[in-house]
């Protein structure tokens, strides 16, 4: 018997690892494991846990149609596997790659356990088109600048023809078993009132993406990120669609995702250290009160506040606004990018460590191919450019223009000058 281990690939269709697991005469036990190492840090109504559970239920419904079912466990992965291999004649375990530092550690421990029992651990590429070692410079070293990376990515993409993995057609190989399907309550969670929005990848959206994506009042973005994060849609399907359009702006965003994933793979220390080490000499102010006001959307800068309120209310924030609030936190408030990264990690439905760390370091100036330190967004100029009629801002700040809306917590000009001085001081040291 084989095991297929679902993680960030919560779908039956075009699932690489699932396809390879099912594509033999052996029967396959499909499992999912809720990991207390991750869950214990989350509130009981965490919206992502609800979304994962909802997707597991979807999978369960589809499997039941084929007279099968999914097993859902809770526990440390090695403990769960220890039990499963005692109770079943397991020959191999299949799963899809997960590139985050924590997942790599977890998978290494599972691999070692399986190895002791002479069980093979087969892992597949599924959540990206190209992973770590597939797009590198000619000497095998990783790209740390986006443009040449994307050029190489597109070259390789054009060379190959896309392969799909019709895992959904092999469900008859799934084993009959009596393992449980734990409920949300069983793992100590409740259904969140925050729901993951559906994605939109209509022809219209992709064709107009470059023109509309920067205006948060327009529904010009795809809302794909959460679905890509949890694998509820196949990246192969999305990339193929994006490539059909002559304007490659949308495809480029998919490439940014893989760019940051390979950066995290080669430079895992960047989850808490600046990619450019001299940026760790910055003397952040780290004012807790200012941070709290930023979190709550009460800085007195409407674009910043609207974004943070959108995040708090929905678990989502428009990408243009993410850049604005991030620049404001790091540069106007001189608060360490890690604080912002941590807050986003708590709140974002689409939280993806590689993209979140990569983009926060971009905003702080400390990352690969980052914004230069002197590039400081003016949160008021940004309104003129991207929300000039205040449609987005008023949606989230109904009290705008009244006495109850706070005064700016910092003066733009002063904050800008202080930022330049602080960054310069740190960078002059090296």
Cβ proximity to DNA, 304 vs 371, nearer residue: 371
Cβ proximity to DNA, 2 vs 322, nearer residue: 322
Q: Is 88 a catalytic residue?
A: no
- Of 250, 335, 324, nearest to 292 by C-alpha is 335
Smallest distance from the beta carbon of 133 to DNA, in angstroms?
A: 23
- Of 224, 235, 228, 227, nearest to 202 by C-alpha is 224
Instruction: List 71's β-bridge partners, or say none.
Output: 31
* DSSP H/E element including 120: strand 120-124
Interacting positions 344-363 with DNA (CB under 7 A): 362
Interacting positions 228-247 with DNA (CB under 7 A): none
Given the rule CB under 7 A, which of 14-22, 71-79, 131-139, 381-389 is the region that contacts DNA?
Answer: 381-389
Smallest distance from the beta carbon of 370 to DNA, in angstroms?
A: 9
How many angstroms separate the CA atoms of 366 and 359, rounded?
10
How many angstroms separate the CA atoms of 239 and 254, rounded?
7
How many Cβ atoms are within 10 Å of 118's Cβ, its own excluded? 7
List the structure tokens of 411. Answer: 């003066």
Cβ proximity to DNA, 140 vs 372, nearer residue: 372
Alpha carbons within 13 angstroms on the beta-carbon side of residue 299 total 29
Interacting positions 396-415 with DNA (CB under 7 A): 412-413
Given the rule CB under 7 A, which of 36-44, 49-57, 233-241, 371-379 is the region that contacts DNA?
Answer: 371-379
Q: Which of 360, 362, 378, 396 is catalytic?
A: 360
* DSSP H/E element including 417: helix 412-428
Smallest distance from the beta carbon of 387 to DNA, in angstroms?
A: 12
Cβ proximity to DNA, 177 vs 412, nearer residue: 412
Cα dihedral sign, 151-152-158-164 = negative
Phi, psi of 380 (to 5 degrees): -85, -40
Cβ proximity to DNA, 249 vs 312, nearer residue: 249
Taking the alpha carbons at both ends of the chain, their separation in whole angstroms is 58
**Chain-centre distance for alpha carbon 49:** 14
Q: Which of 13, 45, 57, 256 is catalytic?
A: 256
Smallest distance from the beta carbon of 237 to DNA, in angstroms?
A: 22
Which residues, at least 6 apart from 417, have a Cβ–Cβ distance to it below 8 Å? Answer: none
Cβ proximity to DNA, 114 vs 364, nearer residue: 364
Site string for DNA, 146-185 (x = CB under 7 A): x---------------------------------------
Q: Is 337 a catalytic residue?
A: yes
Q: Which of 13, 284, 287, 312 is catalytic?
A: 284
Cβ proximity to DNA, 177 vs 418, nearer residue: 418
List the structure tokens of 209. Answer: 């993406």
SS (H, E, C) 315-341: CCCCHHHHHHHHHHHHHHCCCCHHHHH
Instruction: List the one residue from 80, 321, 376, 409 that touches DNA (CB under 7 A).
Output: 376
- Contact between 269 and DNA (CB under 7 A)? no
- Contact between 249 and DNA (CB under 7 A)? no
* DSSP H/E element including 124: strand 120-124
Q: Is 256 a catalytic residue?
A: yes
The strand pair at 120-124 and 92-96 is best described as parallel
- Contact between 113 and DNA (CB under 7 A)? no
Smallest distance from the beta carbon of 427 to DNA, in angstroms?
A: 11
Which residues sit at the interface with DNA, rule CB under 7 A?
146, 256, 320, 323, 362, 371-372, 374-378, 381-382, 385, 412-413, 416, 420, 424
Cite the active site residues: 253, 256, 284, 319, 337, 360
């Amino acid at each position: 018997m084989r095991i297929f281990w679902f993680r960030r690939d919560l779908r039956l269709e075009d699932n690489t690892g699932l396809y390879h697991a099912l594509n033999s005469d052996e029967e396959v036990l499909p499992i999912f494991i809720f990991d207390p190492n991750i869950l214990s840090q989350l509130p009981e109504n965490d919206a992502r846990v609800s979304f994962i559970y909802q997707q597991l239920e979807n999978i369960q419904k589809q499997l039941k149609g084929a007279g099968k079912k999914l097993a859902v466990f809770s526990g440390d992965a090695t403990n769960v596997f220890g039990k499963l291999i005692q109770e079943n004649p397991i020959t191999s375990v299949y799963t899809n790659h997960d590139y985050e530092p924590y997942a790599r550690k977890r998978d290494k421990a599972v691999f070692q356990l399986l190895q002791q029992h002479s069980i093979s651990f087969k892992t597949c590429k599924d959540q990206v088109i190209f992973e770590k070692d597939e797009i590198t410079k000619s000497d095998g070293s990783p790209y740390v600048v986006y443009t040449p990376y994307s050029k190489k990515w597109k070259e390789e993409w054009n060379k190959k023809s896309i392969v799909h993995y019709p895992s959904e057609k092999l469900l008859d190989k799934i084993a009959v078993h009596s393992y449980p399907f734990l409920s949300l309550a069983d793992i100590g969670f409740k259904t969140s009132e925050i729901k993951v929005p559906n994605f939109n990848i209509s022809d219209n959206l992709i064709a107009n993406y470059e023109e509309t994506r920067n205006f948060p009042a327009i529904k010009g973005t795809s809302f794909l990120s959460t679905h890509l994060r949890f694998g509820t849609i196949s990246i192969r399907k999305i990339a193929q669609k994006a490539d059909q359009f002559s304007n490659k702006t949308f495809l480029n965003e998919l490439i940014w995702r893989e760019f940051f994933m390979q950066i995290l793979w080669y430079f895992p220390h960047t989850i808490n250290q600046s990619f450019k080490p001299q940026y760790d000499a910055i003397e952040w102010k780290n004012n807790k009160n200012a941070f709290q006001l930023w979190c709550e959307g009460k800085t007195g800068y409407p674009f910043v506040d609207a974004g943070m309120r959108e995040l708090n209310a929905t678990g989502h924030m428009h990408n243009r606004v993410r850049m604005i609030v991030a620049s404001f936190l790091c540069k106007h408030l001189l608060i360490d990018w890690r604080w912002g990264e941590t807050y986003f990690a708590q709140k974002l439905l689409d939280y993806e460590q590689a993209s979140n760390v990569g983009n926060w370091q971009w905003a702080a100036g400390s990352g690969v191919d980052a914004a230069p330190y002197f590039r400081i967004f003016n949160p008021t100029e940004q309104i003129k450019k991207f929300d000039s009629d205040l449609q987005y801002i008023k949606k989230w700040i109904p009290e705008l223009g009244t006495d109850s809306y706070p005064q700016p917590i910092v003066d733009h000009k002063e904050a800008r000058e202080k930022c330049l001085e602080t960054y310069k001081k740190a960078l002059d040291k090296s």
